[in-house]
Amino acid sequence: MRIATWNVNSIRARATRATAFLERSGTDVLAMQETKCTPAQFPTGAFEEAGCHVAVHGLNQWNGVAVASRHPILRVHDHFPGQPAFGDPAVVEARALGAVIDVSGALEGAPGSPAPTELTVWSLYVPNGRELDHPHYAYKLEWLAALRAQARAWLNADPAALIALVGDWNVAPQDQDVWDMAAFEGATHVSAPEREAFAAFAEDGWIEATRARTTNYTYWDYQRLRFPKNEGMRIDFAY
């Protein structure tokens, strides 16, 4: 089972690239963030033509999350229990979507156990934080703490459940995850509270699956031409 995550930064502008990626990579499930559209505006047809089932959550032109799966999607959650709200008036933003996927016959069970029939993939777009003294930073830490609490509850309720927490975490957990730590002095994404909040998931038993395969950056600021200089950040992960 191959699961991928991609902050698409407007799916309406990148639907063709996203479906092409699905075709050439053999990806079974693609979690997307920053889709920047409502469900009615999402290019569902393009993904269906590529052989995918789609789950979408979006409120407006900001944020937005989605999951495209080659296997049937049984149920969809458009937020996790306890997900914090933000703004005035406070709104539970479109930053988390859980797709319960039918994987009957697609996966093998552990020795002595039956093969699993369901996999829940959460597409997560963690708040950016903006600046260390900004209310959005406190919101980010609150959001991560709430997600951790719920993730712990899922593990306690069913230790054998197949759950993946994937997406844009907006945290660079290690110094090597940014091109120049000096450039991030006093900035978000690398602060101790953010890194501690990210590491807490591993402390609870979640396994981050990507670092064992690659340490490449996952984000480059196109507005500053960071990509040609490989001045990137590693902020997308899969627990």
> Which residues span the domain enclosing 229?
71-238
Domain for residue 229, yes or no? yes
| Residues 118-151: tens digit of each pLDDT | 999 999 999 999 999 999 999 999 999 999 999 9
Q: Is 0.85 topped by the overall pTM?
A: yes
Asked if residue 53 is part of any domain, the answer here is no
| Dihedral (CA of 139, 141, 143, 149) sign | negative
Q: Which residues contact 5 (CB under 8 A, 6 or more apart)?
A: 30, 31, 32, 33, 123, 166, 167, 168, 236, 238
Q: Is residue 6 part of a domain?
A: no
Residue at 45 is within a domain: no
Q: Which of 24, 200, 64, 55 is nearest to 120 (CA)?
A: 55
170 marked ligand binding residue: yes
* 144, containing H or E segment: helix 135-157
CATH number of the domain enclosing 116: 3.60.10.10
> d(Cα 88, Cα 229) in Å, to the nearest integer?
39
| Domains identified in the chain, total number | 1
- Per the domain annotation, does 164 fall within a domain? yes
For the segment 16-69, what is each residue's pLDDT rounded down to a tens digit?
999 999 999 999 999 999 999 999 999 999 999 999 999 999 999 999 999 999
Task: Identify the band that residue 113 occupies on the pLDDT scale cut at 50, 70 and 90.
Answer: confident
Annotated binding-site residue? 34: yes
